[in-house]
Amino acid sequence: MLFFPNAKINIGLNIVSKREDGYHNLETIFYPIGWKDVLEIIPSSTPGFKCTGITVEGGENLCEKALKLLKADYDIPDVFIHLHKNIPTGSGLGGGSSDAAFTLMGLNQQFNLGISNEELKGYALRLGADCPFFIDNVPSFASGVGEELIPVNIDLKGHHLVVVKADVFVSTSEAFSGVTPKPSDFSLVDEIQKPLSDWRLKNDFEDSIFEHHPKLLAIKNTLTEAGAIYTSMSGSGSSIYGLFSSKPPLSFNDEAVFYQQL
């Protein structure tokens, strides 16, 4: 069976406090977008995993880890998993997390395991903090480390989305090292009910990351100059997106670019 794991963007991202376990509490809006990988799960007497498309670092893939999690609790036949990557890695778009979540959902569907969405979210959380989001895959306010999810109403219909993935790598440790956690001054959920032009939403990672990676700031400025109503970095980078009222006449030479009319 074929499945199509999709990416997400972060609309606003506040790092509100550091936890005793060393992680950080955050607040953000996860919004699903149409940039997708292709995931194929095939019953096979020669089980294995293959990844094509964009190069992914070595080691066990999250799809393989998802399969192992369910195999420990359910009688699943041997399968061969083929993942074709389109969503750039290290982009702040959640591609790997989506692949893992869709593997869980795909196995559940293909082999009639009868696992509820809430149970799938429990498995997904063991694979990554933002993996549970992709189970329901609807715009959501996320808190905690990203696993506490509340669906939200946000109307972006008719807007045009441009996502630019720069050839820049930002490690998670680098991103968090430049942020001083602090509570937000306003509610993200209330803010997204306003017109885009009135949004005060900001990604807390941007200031320090833009200082060390000026190319990302340059991309954001290009989107703004092209007429974006709202621009932001997604996650901890290194993708920058813009929301426009109409399709912008933009061209980027060296970056991966995704366009979608919402």
Burial class (CB in 10 A: 0-12, 13-18, 19+), 165: buried
Residue with tokens 């997106």: 241
User: Is the CATH code 3.30.565.10 the one for domain 160-261?
Assistant: no
Burial class (CB in 10 A: 0-12, 13-18, 19+), 34: middle
Task: Give the pLDDT score at 177.
Answer: 87
Q: In degrees rounded to 5, what are phi and psi of residue 122?
A: -65, -45
Mean pLDDT on 204-228? 95
Burial class (CB in 10 A: 0-12, 13-18, 19+), 164: buried
Instruction: List, by residue range, all CATH 3.30.70.890 domains of the chain.
Output: 160-261
Min mean pLDDT across 27-31, 132-136, 221-225, 248-252 is at 248-252
Q: Going edge to edge, which strands form the sheet with 2-3? A: 2-3, 38-43, 79-85, 48-53
What stretches of 145-253 show up as alpha helix (H) in DSSP? 172-177, 188-191, 206-212, 214-225
Least Cα distance to 87 among 14, 4, 201, 13 occurs for: 4
Mean pLDDT on 177-202? 93
Burial class (CB in 10 A: 0-12, 13-18, 19+), 145: middle
Query: Which residues, other chains included, contact 220 with Cβ-Cβ below 8 Å and sequence gap of 6+?
Result: 210, 231, 232, 233, 240, 242
What stretches of the chain show up as alpha helix (H) in DSSP? 62-73, 95-110, 117-125, 133-136, 172-177, 188-191, 206-212, 214-225
Report residue 58's pLDDT band, with 50, 70 and 90 as the boundaries.
Answer: low
Task: Give the pLDDT score at 57.
Answer: 67
Catalytic residue positions? 8, 130
- Provide CATH code, domain 2-151: 3.30.230.10
Please write the tens of the pLDDT for every residue from 73-118.
999 999 999 999 999 998 999 999 999 999 999 999 999 999 999 9
Mean pLDDT on 46-53? 93
Instruction: List, by residue range, all CATH 3.30.230.10 domains of the chain.
Output: 2-151
Contact 37, 67 (CB under 8 A): no
Question: Taking the CB of residue 93, how many other CB atoms lie within 10 A of it?
Answer: 26
Report residue 20's pLDDT band, with 50, 70 and 90 as the boundaries.
Answer: confident
Q: What is the mean pLDDT of the chain?
A: 94
Share of the chain above pLDDT 70, in %: 99
pTM of the model: 0.95
Dihedral sign for Cα 215, 262, 141, 69, please: negative
- Tell me the one-letter amino acid at 196: L
Q: Going edge to edge, which strands form the sheet with 24-36? A: 6-18, 24-36, 140-143, 148-151
